[in-house]
Structure 1
Amino acid sequence: GLTSITIPNSVTSIGASAFYGCTGLTSLTIGSGVTTIYSSAFLGCSGLTSITIPNSATSIGSSAFKGCSGLTEMTLPFVGGSASATTASASTLFGYIFGTLSYNGGTSTTQYYTSGSSAIYYIPSSLKSVTITGGDLLYGAFYDCSGLISLTIGSCVTSIGDSAFYNCSGLTSITIGSGVTSIGSSAFYNCSGLTSITVVDGNTKYHSTGDCLIDTSSKTLMQGCSNSVIPDDGSMMSIGSEAFRGFSGLTSITIPNSVTIIGASAFYGCIGLTSITIGSGVTSIGSSSFSGCSGLTSITIPNGVTSIGSSSFSGCIGLTSVTIGSSVTSIEDSAFRDCSGLTSITIPNSVISIGSNAFFDCIGLTSITIGSGVTSIESCAFYNCSGLTSITVDAGNTKYHSAGDCLIEISSKTLIQGCNNSVIPNDGSVTNIGSAAFRGCSGLTFITIPNSVINIRDFAFYNCNGLISLTIGSGVTNIGGSAFYNCSGLTSITIGSGVTSIGSSAFYNCSGLTSITVAAGNTKYHSAGDCLIEISSKTLIQGCNNSVIPNNGSVTSIGYSAFRGCSGLASITIPNSVTFIGDSAFYGCIGLTSLTISSGVTTIRSSAFYNCSGLTSVTIPNSVTAIGSKVFMGCSGLTAITFMDTTTWYRTGLSQYWVNKIYGTQTDVTSPSSNATYFKSTHVLDYWYKL
């Protein structure tokens, strides 16, 4: 068979399928007269290892080199199907000449030619080296060509478009020709294997030094790599956005004094980076600049820096030491979020503002010292700093102060951040406990809220699962929604006489609760049988593991999630006075084995006994006329549901039909075992009503 071919200079075109299936062809020379190579011209030429297309070519058809599975290197006069293309399309992508159909040795590659449009091509897995001698590289030209190792861009190429080499993660070296004058955004995004960057001498727009690609006029380092050494000769003043993003092989970097700006996401995700020195000239650290640099253990922010950008060090889980320079005035939102290894932080006097979530989820943080200049601390700045034991504010601060390891806003008398060792001062300096003030303080075991406190705001003690005892002073009038949500260790609650408002889910999933007491004299709420009851509406709004619902008529309804998560509740009798059982009322009471529903109940709302897996049998009294969806879902032990009145029961999948009692399907409920199946599985999502 054919093993070698030379196409002479006199030939101007190579026809469709001209060398189709020439699997033995190992040597190919194409003459300088060829202008057009038609579709499938070299389809299946699997023996070819190297192809050079002359600069005379202006058009290459789709799939021209499909199945050339032995290719290791190519030289092309342009990328895609046409040398004159100026608008990105599926035909301006590198994969176009290899086609959209699979073949042995082809790697499926999704290439984008706009941010939302793509084509799937099969590029030879063996192809490692490509040289482009001319034409412009449009958007996504080599998008996701992760198998390429080496790329050379010739001197006739003037423009490299946005995302041109996006996600070419296998690329180790790139040479940029002297003619390139424009490089688009994210051109080398996630080229995480890059170790060598060279710009050919003579390029007036860009140059390379220390394996860094630098815009000469703006002195901006546009692209770095794993081997980069940032020049300290004054040739650069800023590190551009995403310049080193994703370079996991970068272990150490020194930012020289000549640099003033570190751009957004400049070192984002450099997980191998363990050492960084930031020069004294830096004044701005951009958003997400070091986000996800999980190998960093310490950072010193020099005195010249005035702002630490949003999320700039977020996710630096190995960071144990941070020194903030004396010129920093602003710590932006989420700046140190999820820095779980950080144990202490000192915020200097120069800092004026601390952004929202600035130290969110810094679970290893044990001490905070806040300087005298801070006048603004945004919401959740220290959210879920579950290890915090010490909070100190400089005595010269006129906006905030600390007492009893509590951070307090002076003018509003609001405790905005507590910790595991906090003792709320009882000198009148605190009247409000702020939203999420103690959220996630899992080491907090006891708390007394003094009489001076009026408001406990939403989520104040959310997820304080180590809290076992709580006393709420007589001055408190409001307990916010989810204030003690998931305080699973809480065994007793004492609510003062002044409380007039308790928000939704205030004690949600307090699964260890065994005692509820309301102080005498409260006109809004009272307690009986370890139940918290709203007096006027006669609604039981919170129960516990020891609750006995009073049968004296003081309770007519059981509220939303009233017993939710009370896993220690073993037995409950719902008395005749109760007419209504609210949504999720006994949700997750997995220890409940005995349930008596008395004859006053008319409505059982959705999910009321969801996941009460210990129940084996339930009797529905004659009085019940409406049962919501998923009432007994997850009750895995339930084998019998007995209806005292088995006539005219209907079910429907739509809640509006249930409310109006129309369009239901009449269902036989005479069999207790069948009923259990209905309510646990076959009709678990349906709503039931009786006419």
Structure 2
Amino acid sequence: MKKTLLLLLCLCLLFTSIISCESPCAHADKQMHPAVAATNENPGNIAYKECSVCHKYFDNVDPLKEITLDSTITYAVIYNENKPGEISATVANMPQGASYQSGSLITKPDSPTLTDCVFGGWYTDSGCTKAFDFTQTKVTLTLTLYAKWILSSVVKDGVQYALFDNNGVSEYEIKGCSADTVKLILLAEIEGIPVTRIADNAFSNKSQLTGDLTIPDSVTSIGVNAFFGCKGFDKTLTIGNSVASIGNYAFWACSGFTDLVYKGEVKPTLGTDVFLGCQIGQ
């Protein structure tokens, strides 16, 4: 008898607990959380709603769509013009900063412009060593993107370099040198941009140039009359291993060279009388 009473008591307690359980929350009472703009110092949030009973979170546009609190967070994306110190002009078409929802991709802005420079993309560091990928990288924190600028013209060790577009790729061309340049030092790259050709007449009749001459491995072509009449060179001429062509009269009357070295396995294509009047051979 005692066992029967105990069983009945347990069943009563179970039934009571079942009927006393709260019904599922209908989320009828929702508190509105307005949007807060993200700043350089602090994240913000999109507008969302929170159930006052169960404290679950819901989309502001679709009130039935449940979301996580983390998904409401927004972060500021700041664009830094990162202008070269030697350029005084103002950057045009500079994009404005914006807030992006955590986990979202950034809309790639139009490219800014700057006089005497070419825009080279957006980077996550001011030294422009880490390019930002707008197609893959999602926002997970406050982010500053730095503009990379490539100078249209540069002078290094008295040598003049000019930027040009080679089928969508920025490269430098050697244009000449100052009148007081004596030792010619040619660079293979400038700020990561390759030097790939020597212009026509670049050093024509620069008789003050002396010593040896090395054409960098990055150079693929030497223009017409490039070193025409440079009689002051008095040591070895070394042609880099990427030079594919040398223009007409490029080293005409460079009578001081003592030796010619081709670094490449295949000699470049030579124009007319490239070495006419030189002691060195073809």
User: Which TM-score tier does this pair reach, normalised by the shorter chain?
Assistant: 0.3 to 0.5
TM-score, normalised with respect to structure 2: 0.41
TM-score, normalised with respect to structure 1: 0.20
Larger % of strand: which?
Answer: 2
Larger % of helix: which?
Answer: 2
Identify which of structures 1 and 2 has the higher relative contact order when contacts are C-alpha pairs closer than 8 Å and 6+ apart.
2
